[in-house]
Amino acid sequence: MADLTPYSARWTGPVLIQRGEDTTVSVAIEHAGTAPTVSAVVLSLFDSSGNTVLDGETASESGGTLSYTVSAATTSSATLGAGWLVRFTATIGGDDHPFFNDAALCASRLYPPVGTTDLTNRYSRLASLQTTGASDLQKFITDAWTELTTRMYSEGLPFWRMRTPSTMRPWLTAQALVYALNDLALTLGGGGPYREEAARIEATLPKLYGQIRSLMDSDEDNHVSQERQPVSPVLILSSGRSTRYRG
């Protein structure tokens, strides 16, 4: 009987493959918090036209994380853009399990404009309340960044083309603090001021998201737009509502 276990493939957004650069593609697989035993894994890569770029290339697995490095030579002459497709096929218990995710070939990646220092600057005691110090706060920033970029992408914005990442700081800082303060409320018990402060900050998130504006490098040729593009896809205009992003 085929293995019908609903394994979790923990993709954190579209796979961004940097053209002309070695790029490691990876995804963590688990079920009930445990990594399955993977006996073999291969990767296939398809471009936006459905053409096979890589076919069944041997990949690696460690602790449930499937990985493959797409070489610089593989993408050096390819056309930039979204609509690519990645497929890991893992053999688990004798059965093949395909794990798909869409991908984009990009000129450069985008990085979070917020670090743990920004969180402790707001609330200096946060570091001392963590198990091992300020480094424990990184997971909240990472999760907030994943939520932000996934939301922008699902709303049709190619976020990797944004060239004013600093405008994401207010939302990203606020969301990371909400995660950190709620975690403290659960850990210390009773909620108290941590829960109340988290709720206060969380109430500001919709407004902060709507205020994100960025110059865009739409063709990824280092020529940025002259107007700042809003992240929110719904704009209130004099002629009515618009749900199209400007290029």
Q: Which residues on neighbouring strands pair with residue 54, listed in sequence order?
A: 45
The per-residue pLDDT for 25 is 98
CATH of the domain at 52: 2.60.40.1220
Angle made by CA atoms 51, 156, 145, in degrees to the nearest 5:
100
Residues belonging to the chain: 247
Among the listed residues 49, 83, 86, the one whose alpha carbon sits nearest the alpha carbon of residue 67: 86
Q: Which of 42, 73, 106 is the last residue of a domain?
A: 106
Q: Are residues 177 and 90 in the same domain?
A: no
The per-residue pLDDT for 134 is 75
The per-residue pLDDT for 28 is 98
Q: Low-confidence residues of the chain, pLDDT below 70?
A: 1, 132, 233-247
Number of domains in the chain: 2
Q: How far apart are CA 29 and CA 49, in angstroms?
A: 28
| pLDDT, tens only, 141-199 | 999 999 999 999 999 999 999 999 999 999 999 999 999 999 988 888 777 888 999 99
Q: Are residues 180 and 231 in the same domain?
A: yes
Q: Are residues 120 and 233 in the same domain?
A: yes
Domain range for 96: 8-106
